[in-house]
Amino acid sequence: MRRAVLAVALVVMVLIPLPVLASDTPPQPPQCAARDCRTQPASEELWAVPLTGTWPDGTWSAGTGPGTTGDGGTVPASGQTASVAVGDGFAVVGTGLSLTGYDSATGGRRWQTTLTAAAGAEIVAVRAWPGVITVGLLAPGGHARTEVVLDAATGRELRHYPAAVFGGTVTASAATTVVIGRATVTSYDNATGRPRWQRSTSGGQSWQADGGTLYVAQAPGGYLSSSPVTALKVIDLKTGAERVLSSPLDSPFSGTLAMAVDRVVLFASSTGVTAYSGSTGDLLWSRSGWVPEGTDPGAPAADFTVADGTLIAADPLTAAVRASAPASVAAGTAALYVVRNGVALGLNSGANGTAWGYDMTKGEVTWTSPTLPWPHFFSDVAGLGGSAAAAGGLVVVTACQHLASAGICADPELVAFRL
């Protein structure tokens, strides 16, 4: 149940950068095929620090060892999930009920804390915001969720707010936190814990945030059903002002709500992607065979893979392709992951794997790292193994320096790169 809840929660939040390109040939960055990678520009690795934890035994496993799913990841050996968040000067790792905060510039550990919660509860999401960290805490049994707000500088718990299992924090600051609950969207005053404003929603609906705007789908039965989305609730996250955005010509939106970027909402289906105006609901464009992969906030751009495996960065308003990375870029078990400021993070698996940055506009590798300890892992922007800051280009991954017996990682570490 826990894994199912986490998987769906990641889909709801469109926490996207899963591997987009792969094949079965030996792993090499594209420009390392004929020459040593060390001739590439200097690595953008910023720091690497040991991973610690206070959950059952504090150990980590790797590859196909205890607690893993065979994905090669460096994860807690206890079988619990690990979440990582980066932003506003902090990188935060959470697992079980333990949280550790690191300085994002130096990797220095700033604090470590254990959350106050019932036995059996565990962290399923961590987000970093200006001045605060928010943590999604799933209750035993997976039927209830609480959002915990912590002071980013000290790790001190400030507030606990009720949330929907597939909801959670939409935006937060030292002053306020906006949370999607079971039947409401509520903005709370962190000083008092009282609601500032509250808007009703139908339970279990999909949602996407775009800057200061929240889009909530309206579909009978919620997003887990096959019911079409006929309208969107559009909520101003600062004031709570609300309006309803109807689908064009009273026909349902095409597919499920997948992304929102630069005042454009994108719906995905088995056939492709359709974009609508976030202001009027009018149809903007449709592309068959496109699969949403995420957004690049610094561009702004929406990232997609197309039928031949190419990764493209497109203008969300017009679908014009601004930059791309051909499928041939990622050979072997290498893959491109999150994109920030037009640069994609590449990771090669295997004992001699490296991390590298691929500039999608220039069409070239701009830096490579020294050999990265294996197994290393990046999964998604919410944090299951890795995370990317929404602003700026900081990305962190988990890595295992030394693999002991039975898949146990002797020296797990958190490694930060700048894209």
- pLDDT at 7 exceeding the cut of 60: no
Handedness of CA 368, 370, 374, 375 (dihedral sign): negative
- Computed on alpha carbons and rounded to an integer, the radius of gyration of the chain in Å comes to 21
Q: 0.85 exceeded by the pTM?
A: no
State the pairing for strand pair 207-210/213-218.
Answer: antiparallel
Fold classification of 211-289 (topology level): Thrombin, subunit H (2.40.10)
77-86 mean pLDDT: 68
Which two three-digit tokens encode residue 364? 């070239």
Structural domain spans, the chain: 211-289
- Distance in angstroms (rounded) separating the CA atoms of residues 215 and 231: 10
Q: Are 75 and 53 in contact (CB under 8 A)?
A: no
- pLDDT at 338 exceeding the cut of 50: yes
- pLDDT at 111 exceeding the cut of 60: yes
Q: Are 314 and 298 in contact (CB under 8 A)?
A: no
72-95 mean pLDDT: 72
- pLDDT at 345 exceeding the cut of 60: yes
Percent of all residues in the chain with a pLDDT value above 70, rounded to a whole number? 74
CA angle 180, 160, 169 (to 5 degrees): 30
- Distance in angstroms (rounded) separating the CA atoms of residues 176 and 135: 15
| CA-wise closest residue to 360 among 391, 397, 326 | 326
296-305 mean pLDDT: 87
The more confident residue out of 357 and 374 is 357
pLDDT at 248: 87
149 φ, ψ (degrees, to nearest 5): -105, 125
